[in-house]
Amino acid sequence: MSSIIDAFLENSLYPEYKIFPRKEEMLLKFIKQIVILFVTMFGTLGNISVCVNYIFSCCGGPEKNPIHLILIHLAFTNIIILLAKGLPKTIAAFGLRSFLDDIGCKIIAYLERVARGVSICTSGLLTVVQAIIISPRASGWRRLRPQSAWHILPFFSFFWILNALIGMNLIHSITSVSLNISQFKREDNYCSFMQESQKTKWIVLPLMVLRDAVFQGAMGGASGYMVILLHKHHQHVLHLQNSKLLYRTPPELRAAQSVLLLMLCFVFFYWADCAFSLLLSLSLVDKSLMGNIREFLTLGYATFSPFVLIHRDRLLPEWWPAQWEKLRKCLSPLFVQ
């Protein structure tokens, strides 16, 4: 949603959408520099950890788990968002504004916009596939269960192509701040957005709204379905406990709980970013504070989503020592020779 509002603001009636630092805000600016750097590095390391853990899981097991493959793709997409958005923001926050030329600015901004759209689509796919996996055997949804993890790969290609086409207009409307062009409508510390034609705007915006509505609608429906199934499972567990029978939660249901927490994280940051974007575009007061908060919200899901998985699935305490031991055994013959 924030990218939709960004596209609107590039052509809006608010050419003053720009944040100017003040002398008395030097301390706040220094804190912002440190926080952006910390958030970027913190989120990148978390996504790398999740990505490596699930890659080991896919390579080590006899059967590839489609959920693991989707989580690898989501972590990879989050890394692109953090590097394309967080690193330039960090460099610009430390005072180096004209460090990107026109081509570099187009690549960074376009890649961040496309990766953000792919993240939304991948999150929706993750929820739907997890709901299908835990559906009862008698359910019709069970027939849609992926027979192999590789059946998921065409969806990834479709997501990248779709969002690459939707964000194509950004290549023509963004350039470096080092160029002094009077048609600039907005600056983003290191890149500037130029005014587009109304025809282009009303082609791109409906596509972005439709994409978000479709995938978030699928996400909401699948999440609600999983909540119902988990509630039935909870009632079943209570019945077994009253009967003094032991029962272990299947790994599919534990994974569903993790996916639901991940979707709650997505919904919070998505709509919080949307709310602050609207306030930023409509407010007539000083926008520096809201602009700073919104910058952190745009990186929130990419930063904190891997740690939801790390905490829920206990990836770091259990996986890293075991995988490191496997890697050491595989590499030891090379060093002996």
Over residues 49-65, mean pLDDT: 76
- Assess if residue 337 is contained within a domain: no
What pLDDT score does 323 carry?
A: 56
Q: How far is CA 312 from CA 45, 127, 170, 198, 320, in A?
A: 17, 16, 37, 46, 15
pLDDT band for 18, please (50, 70, 90 cuts): very low
pLDDT digits (tens, 9 = 90+) for 182-195: 444 444 556 777 76
Q: Residue 336 domain-assigned?
A: no
Quick check: is 16 in a domain? no
Q: Is residue 332 part of a domain?
A: no
Over the range 216-254, which residues count as b (16 or more CB within 10 Å of their CB) and which as e? bebbeebbebbeebbeebeeeeeeeeeeeeeeeeeeebe
Indicate which CATH number applies to the domain containing 139.
Answer: 1.20.1070.10
Query: CA–CA separation, 36 vs 79, rounded Å?
Result: 15
Overall domain count for the chain: 1
Lowest mean pLDDT among 15-19, 46-50, 117-121, 311-315: 15-19
258-292 confidence digits (pLDDT tens): 889 999 999 999 998 888 888 877 765 556 777 77
Q: Indicate whether 230 pLDDT > 60.
A: yes
Query: Among 253, 230, 263, 271, which Cα is nearest to 127's?
Result: 263
Work out the pLDDT band at 28, boundaries 50, 70, 90. confident
Which residue would you say has higher pLDDT here, 38 or 236? 38
Domain membership flag for residue 78: yes
* pLDDT tens profile 118-170: 999 999 999 999 999 888 877 777 778 887 777 889 999 999 999 999 988 88
Q: What's the pLDDT score for residue 167?
A: 86
Greater model confidence, 194 or 113: 113
CA distances to 51, 58, 236, 327, 330 from 320, rounded to whole Å, are: 12, 15, 34, 10, 15
314 belongs to a structural domain: yes
Tell whether 297 is covered by a domain: yes
Domain containing 261: what range?
A: 2-11+22-324
